[in-house]
Amino acid sequence: MSGSEVAGLAAARRPRVTEVEQHGIDTIPAAERTSRPFDLFRIQFGGANTFATVILGTFPVLLGLSLVEAVAATVTGVVVGALILMPMGLFGPRTGTNNAVSSGAHFGVRGRVLGSFLSLLTAISFYSISVWVSGDALVGAATRLFGTGDSDLLRGVVYAVLGALVILVVVYGYQLMLLVNKVVVLANTALMLLGLVAYASLVDLGYDPGPDAYALGSFWPTFVLSALIVMGNPISFGAFLGDWSRYIPADTPPPRLLTATFLGQLATLVPFLFGVGTATLVAGEVDYVVALIQVSPLWYAVLLMVVAFLGGMSTGVTSLYGTGLDFSSVFPRLNRVQASLVIGTLAFVFILVGRLVFDLLASVNAFIGAIVICTTPWMIIMMIGYWVRRGYYSAADVQVFNQGRVGGRYWASGGFNWRGMAAWIPAAVVGLLFANYPPLIEGPLRDAAGGVDVSLPMSIGLAAVVYLALLFAFPEPRYVFAPAGPRFVPAADAPLPPVTDDPRASVHRSARRTPPESTQEPLPR
């Protein structure tokens, strides 16, 4: 069959944007993997090219850094976070499912619920941030343009409309989400670049509030905290990259996937630096979004409403989509659509409580800290596991728990691989002990390095050392590795547990069996 014929068949199989996606976390058949690494780039950039990212970009200035220092902290956070994130795009094409389910290969098919929890934490955080700041921008613009006034009721109504539209896109699924992000990549980039014109006469390139403004008392602790908050954005994609990369063919060269992820995150410097620059214009104001609307030229205030709406849709959709997938596998009575509705409703309640009752700055700071500390060691364990196994995975066996069965390559001990869990738990705990995300996360050891937050290197280092030590001390069975054998670590001989039906499992799971076409294992590289 010629290349044009193959391309024609792939196009014919691509679902229409208006079709409700039928796949949950089941393996995507090869014939339906019609996406490219460029789509992975576009979804990441589109999902982050929003006011939610702009808000994160304001934190270095809000914490007391000068403009130059804030730019340096922002670039550092984005680049380091992107380097850590890059390998997480490799799992989806190999397993045909999302990263939480793929993590079952290293945490056990039941232990993968840890990944589902981390994705839930991330989804609620970024869905909430996106609706909060986008809603506030719309309210601020309406107040200035139409004199509507500001009130909790008006904000609640705007939040509800934005939240409902996000859930609607999530219900339709991947193809509509891809379209939304295509629009956002172009539209929001153009609108933010127009900000260079709008604020050219207002920005003070020498902005420096002085050393007394440092939130943590001195430069380095404040600089590191700022970089970690920025880093939370790329790290937050770790649990979600597989949601989108699973639609990419299994034989896609890894360098293309790594490059797409790194460039996708590097492109987010557009909204980040927009936030850094504009934060200097309204420094000291309680509400950044509303204050920015007030100092903007009238023509750009109108455009900010467009940026806010498109951005809220994009970030909210990319955050909520993957968690709906995961939730439906953990609670098998719910399909993807039902699970998305449940999670969306819970997240909306959190939005109202968090925005109208608690301090937004403290809430964002705490959730970003929790995401960085808890998700990064999970990612490190996944990456080490990928490397020692030479990228070899059984697409069928990672689905065992989701289908109400037991056994297979990744069953380990009752569905839990204690090696991965035993490495993650102390890494996350130690990270929290050293963390310094005031005022809600302040670990008892936060001053161990002179006030500099060392929670990330501590959690990364501990996760890597403990996991590798356990792989050496307690070798995994040979059947989990590629035919060429493990890389660097030893393997143990053991019989492969047969896959059988679990009599305790729900009939709803057994109805979701992976079709034979989709159980083909990708060839190891």
Listed residue (325, 321, 384, 316) closest to 84, CA to CA? 384
**Whether 437 contacts 59, CB under 8 Å:** no
Residue 6 lies in a domain: no
What CATH number corresponds to the domain at position 508? 1.10.4160.10
Domain count, the chain: 1
**Residue 450 belongs to what domain range?**
27-515
Residue-wise pLDDT tens digits, 366-416: 777 888 899 999 999 999 999 999 999 999 999 888 888 888 999 988 899
431, pLDDT greater than 90: yes
Residue 520 lies in a domain: no
pTM assigned to the model: 0.83
Residue 72 lies in a domain: yes
Residue 79 lies in a domain: yes
Residue 295 CB-density burial (10 A; 0-12 exposed, 13-18 middle, 19+ buried): middle
Half-sphere exposure of 98 (CA within 13 A, CB side): 28
Q: How far apart are CA 215 and CA 439, in angstroms?
A: 11
| Tokens describing residue 143 | 């107040």
**Whether 289 contacts 32, CB under 8 Å:** no
Residue-wise pLDDT tens digits, 193-228: 888 888 988 888 899 999 999 988 899 999 999 999
525, pLDDT greater than 80: no
**Residue 477 bridge partners (DSSP):** 492
* Residue 511 phi, psi (nearest 5): -75, -10
Residue 205 lies in a domain: yes
Residue-wise pLDDT tens digits, 433-458: 998 887 778 889 888 888 888 899 99
Residue 92 lies in a domain: yes
Residue-wise pLDDT tens digits, 314-333: 666 666 666 666 666 666 66
What 3 state SS string does 317-373 have? HHHHHHHHHHHHHHCCCCCHHHHHHHHHHHHHHHHHHHHHCCCHHHHHHHHHHHHHH
Q: What is the mean pLDDT of residues 302-310?
A: 76
Residue 8 lies in a domain: no
CA angle 51, 317, 92 (to 5 degrees): 115
- What pLDDT score does 499 carry? 85
C-alpha distances in Å from residue 155, one per residue of 140, 143, 292: 10, 11, 17
Residue 102 lies in a domain: yes
- Find tokens 């509800």 and name the residue: 160
Q: How confident is the model at residue 488 (pLDDT cuts 50, 70, 90)?
A: very high
